[in-house]
Structure 1
Amino acid sequence: MIETGFSATSTADEVIAGIDLAGKRAVVTGGASGIGIETARVLAGASAEVTIAVRNVDAGQETAEQIHAANGAKVQVAELDLASPASVRAFVANWDGPLHILINNAGVMAPPLTRTPEGWELQFATNHLGHFGLATGLYPALAAGHARVVSVASSGHLFSPVVFEDIHFTTREYQPWVGYGQSKTANILFAVEANKRWADAGITVNSLHPGSIATNLQRHVSQAEIDRMRKEVGASMLRKTPAQGASTSILVATSPLLTGIGGKYFEDCNEAAPNQPGAFTGVAPHALDPEAAERLWKVSLDTLG
């Protein structure tokens, strides 16, 4: 187990202290909301050349201006709709040169049943397929940069494995939290398989749970539902600040302690222990299963054509 000396209360600034990212290029998806803003700010503050990839370019520009005002760093903004394969392909086509850090941070949580024009369930399409297409499309740039890829998952992966027989809820009843859970399991499985396939190219891929942070991610979830879930899982859902919530992403993306380390799942700035029955912490066996990871990779390639 990897222990770093940091904890659940560590902030992103504390984690990155002393690390110089001058000459490094980073992409943060969803960098205009939630912990994405803090992630982008801290990377830029360490002298990385940061691009925030966002659906709402106006919100992205506003975030870039706020970061510039805070620390003088210049942040690039690029349009990216992860639920649109065409948008993902356009982002990839427009990228030029090496990429050293890719933080797959954007996501959607527990909306009513929504399908993309392709018929894909929105959470799986956005949280997994979009990021899968982005990372695989950027592979040449990642290899050139000997990159770290960070897959922002969630303890919500405990809600469900990937149900390969009916990923998109075409025959089974749609349950928002089950859909969220399988999409977050997919984020972890992606890290397992991508690291296996890409390590020889100098790319490491890890996943993480950022913690429970009050952000726009919860826009589809009522306060009553949040209260119910907090009561159900107890203290493990204590709220973090955005600065604390971004810390594990920053650690996985930048810490020298993780040089050459991949295929692992982190929470509270340390490698997570196996989940124990009844607990809402740790990593479930279904999320680290190498056979499921390989199967998901093939399904994802087939789905995206």
Structure 2
Amino acid sequence: MSRYSVAHADPQGANDARPTAMQIIHDEQMEDKLVGKAVIITGVSSGLGVETARALAATGATLYMTARDLDRAKSALGDIFDPHRMELIHMDHTSLESVRTAAQNILSKTDKITILVCNAGVMAVKDLQLTDQGYELQFATNHLAHFLFFELLRPALLAGSSSEFQSRVVIVSSSSHRMARGLGPSDNYHYQKGGYDPRGAYAQSKIANVYMANEIERRYGSQGLHATSLNPGIIATSLGRHMSEEEIQALLQNPMVQKFQKSPEQGAATTVWGAVSEELAGKGGLLLDNCAVAARGDYDENPLGGDAVPHTYCAEDEARLWKDSLEMVGLSSEN
């Protein structure tokens, strides 16, 4: 049983007794324990990215943080931004070239990375939108950009692993991955055959996040590079910027949503737990929920549920997605 099980047993809304990201750092006794280590966080212009950065900064690590709008990110980070051990780097997740440039920028400054947090994302894009490369916007932003970023940073992540702290990749997914019923066919990731649905497209991108973490563990876990994915919970952030005000208000006024809703500080807790917890040392290929490894259950579409469902783990689809993703980002094989 998780040390946080009792706190999550009967949630009472944002800012209740459930842990915050900073509490995780304190409970794991990680203050100033990663001095000299490099940590990468994507999407720090608002919400969970900011709170993840706030907590991981307390470890003493050097933070390299990406955002599409650097001025907005610097404003959001506010007084936690320390230019002596933090750097903001431009990265547009809709552009694979921008991802390559950001990775090159980071690798010009460090050849060893200990933690990569894939946090940036988008959801509820109402109409089918394609990137310049012809990829569906949610799949491209949430999965392909992070996949390419990981592949480019992989040598540094392997080099940054040590016996005292093995490298970790933490990917923010969603309970929505449960609604995908597995990965779609390879020839329709981008709805080339029609049938676009905002919720379905988001769910597909989120199961891709889970499968990416699972496959990283399968390929590199034995080399000291581990990966987990997670459901952060219900948090009011700019992730819902494509939703109408009416949709947002209807959601936030739902009594069950109000009960389970977390503050951004609480929403980042599972991310930070995945990044630093002793319990996960040397482990990966796991879905996390409420600062614990998610229990395994049967299939259901409950958007408030956090359990893993049968298709959360599927070696065949994980391998297929990896192969297809390499091709989509222009890497015919791994070096």
TM-score range, shorter chain: over 0.9
The one-letter code matched in structure 1 to 2:197 is: Q
Q: SS in structure 2 opposite 1:179?
A: helix
Partner residue in 1 for 2:120: 106
Matches of 2:328 and 2:150 in 1, distance apart? 15
User: 3-state DSSP class of the match of 1:77?
Assistant: strand
Question: Is residue 140 from structure 1 mapped to residue 155 from structure 2 by the alignment?
Answer: yes
**Matches of 2:3 and 2:152, distance apart in 1:** 32
Residue 174 in 1 paired to residue 174 in 2? no
Matches of 2:81 and 2:96, distance apart in 1: 31
With over 3 angstroms needed to count, the CA separation of the structure-2 counterparts of 1:236 and 1:266, relative to structure 1, is farther
Name 1:3's counterpart in structure 2. Answer: 2
Unpaired runs of 5+ residues, structure 1, are none
Match of 1:162 among 183, 186, 191: 183
Answer yes or no: is the 8 Å Cα contact 2:4–2:19 preserved in 1. no
For residues 148 and 256 of structure 1, the distance between their equivalents in structure 2, rounded to whole angstroms, comes to: 12
**Shift, 1:286, TM fit:** 1.7
Q: How far did 1:221 drift?
A: 1.3
**Among 76, 97, 116, the residue aligned to 2:111:** 97
Give the aligned residue type for 1:29.
Answer: T
1:78 deviation in Å?
Answer: 0.5
Pairing 1:179-190 to 2, within 5 Å after superposition = 179-190=201-212
Do the aligned partners of 1:212 and 1:237 also contact (CA within 8 Å) in 2? no
1:230 positional shift: 6.9
1:114-263 maps to which residues of 2 (within 5 A)? 114-146=129-161, 147-160=167-180, 161-164=182-185, 165-226=187-248, 234=256, 238-263=260-285
Residues 1:62 and 2:75 aligned together = yes
**Which amino acid in 2 is paired with 1:162?**
L
Quote the residue 1:271 is aligned against. 293
The C-alpha deviation readout for 1:30-69, integer Å capped at 9, x for no partner, is 0121110000011112211111111111122324443148
CA distance 1:233–1:178, shift in 2 (3 Å)? farther
Task: After TM superposition, give the deviation of residue 74 of structure 1 in Å.
Answer: 4.0
TM-fit CA distance, 1:183: 0.1
Q: Aligned in 2, Cα 1:278/1:27: closer, same or farther, shift over 3 Å?
A: closer
Conserved 8 A contact 1:64-1:76: no
Match of 1:46 in 2: 59
**For the residues of structure 1 that align with 2:269 and 2:169, how far apart are their CA atoms?**
15
* Partner Cα separation in structure 1 for residue 259 and residue 199 of structure 2: 16
Contact in 2 for aligned 1:44/1:73 (Cα 8 Å): no
| Shift in Å, 1:85 | 0.8
2:241 alignment partner, SS class: helix
Q: Counterpart of 2:130 in 1: which secondary structure?
A: coil
- State the secondary structure of the residue aligned to 1:86: helix
- Partners of 2:255 and 2:323 in 1: CA distance: 34
Contact 1:162–1:183 (CA under 8 A) maintained in structure 2: no
Give the match for residue 329 of structure 2.
304
Higher helix share: 1
Is the Cα contact below 8 Å between 1:109 and 1:180 reproduced in 2?
yes
Paired AA for residue 66 in structure 1: D
Q: Cα gap change, 1:233/1:303 in structure 2, threshold over 3 Å: closer, same or farther?
A: farther
Deviations 1:105-146 (A, max 9, x none): 000011122110111100000100000000011001100112
- What is the CA RMSD across the aligned residues, in angstroms? 2.2
Contact preservation (8 Å) 1:211, 1:237: no
TM-score for both structures, normalised by structure 2: 0.84
Instruction: Give 1:233 shift.
Output: 10
SS in 2 for 1:212: coil
Does the 8 A contact of 2:212 with 2:322 survive in 1?
yes
Distance 1:83-1:233 versus aligned 2 partners, 3 A rule: farther
What corresponds to 1:84 in structure 2?
95
1:76 match: secondary structure: strand
- State the AA in 1 paired with 2:38: R
Of residues 139-148 and 235-244 in structure 1, the stretch that sits farther from structure 2 once superposed is 235-244
Q: Are residue 283 (structure 1) and residue 308 (structure 2) matched?
A: yes
* C-alpha distance in structure 1 between counterparts of 2:253 and 2:324, whole Å: 36
**Letter paired with 1:184:** K
**1:246 Cα deviation (Å)?**
0.3
User: Following the alignment from structure 1 to structure 2, what is the Cα–Cα distance between the partners of residues 33 and 288?
Assistant: 30
Query: Matched residues in 2 for 1:132 and 1:167: separation?
Result: 15
**SS state of the match for residue 114, structure 1?**
coil
Cα distance in 2 for partners of 1:226, 1:287 equals 28
Q: Secondary structure at the match of 2:200?
A: helix
TM-score of the aligned structures, taking structure 1 as reference length? 0.92
Question: Would the aligned equivalents of 2:211 and 2:321 in 1 still touch at CA under 8 Å?
Answer: yes
Distance (whole Å) between structure 2 residues aligned to residue 159 and residue 278 of structure 1: 5
User: Across the two proteins, how many residue pairs are aligned to each other?
Assistant: 302
User: Structure 2 regions of 5+ residues with no counterpart?
Assistant: 9-17, 162-166, 331-335
